[in-house]
């Protein structure tokens, strides 16, 4: 009974904006229950040694999920990456409630996306029945 009264009071005094509620629902829709999470094993912002004279070096990321490794380079022009070992797959760049169009992985495991992530982003890799999702990072 007390919980219901508190909910009613919160709804009147501090209602959740409709836009925020929709964003929460959309974020939940992105959630893949059967997906394996690829762990970030290298981030050039943290792990790389600085290079003298390089002022705008691209960000290099490496994710690992079991035997699958995903190397990604983040630049102002977009993303470029490689899935190892090479396999047929689709990569989706996730950025909030919207998913960018999927990009195909070629026979060498390479992929490119001309969409530069703005804000938090993750990658979803679909290989047949297997789904791998990377950790979320801020661009």
pLDDT tens column, 65-117? 988 999 999 988 889 999 999 988 899 888 865 656 789 899 999 999 887 77
Separation CA 24–CA 45 (nearest Å): 29
Separation CA 118–CA 129 (nearest Å): 29
Peptide bond into 131 cis (omega under 30): no
Question: CB neighbours of 53 closer than 8 A, spacing ≥ 6?
Answer: none
Separation CA 13–CA 79 (nearest Å): 44
What are the pLDDT digits (tens) for 14-62? Answer: 888 888 877 777 776 666 666 888 999 999 888 766 666 666 778 899 9
Which structure tokens are listed for 88? 């047929």
């Amino acid at each position: 009974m007390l919980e219901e009264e508190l909910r009613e009071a919160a709804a009147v005094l501090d209602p959740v904006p409709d836009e925020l509620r929709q964003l929460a629902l959309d974020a939940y829709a992105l959630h893949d229950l059967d997906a394996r999470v690829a762990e970030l094993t290298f981030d050039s912002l943290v792990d790389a040694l600085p290079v003298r004279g390089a002022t705008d070096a691209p960000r290099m990321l490496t994710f690992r999920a079991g035997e699958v490794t995903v190397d990604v380079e983040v630049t102002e022009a977009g993303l470029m990456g490689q899935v190892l070992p090479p396999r047929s797959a689709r990569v989706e760049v996730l950025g909030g409630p919207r998913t960018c169009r999927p990009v195909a992985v070629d026979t060498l495991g390479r992929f490119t996306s001309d969409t530069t992530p703005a804000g938090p982003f993750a990658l979803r890799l679909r290989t047949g029945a297997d789904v791998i999702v990377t950790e979320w990072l801020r661009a």
